Amino acid sequence: MANINPLTALRSLKGAPLSCLVALIFANQPVGKEWLARVTGYSDKPVSSAMDYLLEMGFVTNAARTESWELHAQIRQLMIGNPELLLESTRNNSDSDPTTTALTKDNNNQEKAVAEEQVEEQEIVDNNFAESLALIKSAGIGEPMASRLARMHHINPYYLIGHILQAQRDDTNTPLLIHRLRSRDPAPRLNQNYHLVGCKCSQCFHFVYSQDKGLLPIEEFEYKSYLESVTVESI
Ligand SMILES: [Zn+2]
């Protein structure tokens, strides 16, 4: 699925899927299956199943109406260079844990201080790891991507709720939501009802008249209150 790291998934590509993927990279625009068959030399059937496979893996998107195929936005992003993805695939292939390595090097005080600082930072991250993970999963993002995202430093519950609400409002698909979260796209701000600023629902409508539009400052965000607000609404 789309939450596979494309760099890791590359090794599963050979034959028609690989040829079609390369053809799409060269095409750099939406193309049909006939075109793919012509340029790759594969016949209709292999091309069809190759495209189904690439779609399932999250490499391509398909506009059903026009029968056209193109590279997934995330893959296009990777082609212009996405350090995050590179970092992730390096981590996957290595057994050493950078935190452990740093902690064992406490030969002198300076390194010790650095290690302590890292532990402190780690704890801050752990503080909302569980909350972030729950939110990410609630948005339909599965493992291992969910944990990877939750561990990222810029990810926190406020940031996630903004993105998830926006994705729900705009009917954004999960791969694009993942892409936005990973690319540190700025999150939409929340209001005091834990809805998006500018929400037009009956509970938020009165914010129109306040100068700050009911903006909830990040430091006033409380995960518990958020959960309560969601529970009340679903009753
Ligand atoms: Zn609202």
Domain ranges across the chain: 6-79, 129-234
Query: Please, which residues have CB within 8 angstroms of residue 25's CB and are 6 or more apart in sequence?
Result: 71, 79
CA of 211 from ligand 1 middle (Å) equals 16
CA of 200 from ligand 1 middle (Å) equals 6
How confident is the model over 153-164, as pLDDT tens digits? 899 999 999 999
Mean confidence (pLDDT) of the chain: 81
CATH code assigned to 6-79: 1.10.10.10
How confident is the model over 67-78, as pLDDT tens digits? 789 988 877 777
CA of 100 from ligand 1 middle (Å) equals 45
- 41, with CB counted inside 10 A (0-12, 13-18, 19+), is exposed
Cis peptide bond prior to 98, omega within 30° of 0: no
User: 0.85 exceeded by the pTM?
Assistant: no
CA of 40 from ligand 1 middle (Å) equals 51
Other CB atoms within 10 Å distance of the CB of residue 115 = 17
Judged against a pLDDT cut of 60, whether residue 211 lies above it is answered with yes
CA of 230 from ligand 1 middle (Å) equals 11
Q: Locate all alpha helices (DSSP H) within 28-144, ordered by sequence.
A: 33-40, 44-57, 73-79, 83-93, 98-104, 109-127, 129-138
CA distance 25 to 36: 11
Closest by alpha carbon to 9, among 144, 153, 138?
Answer: 144
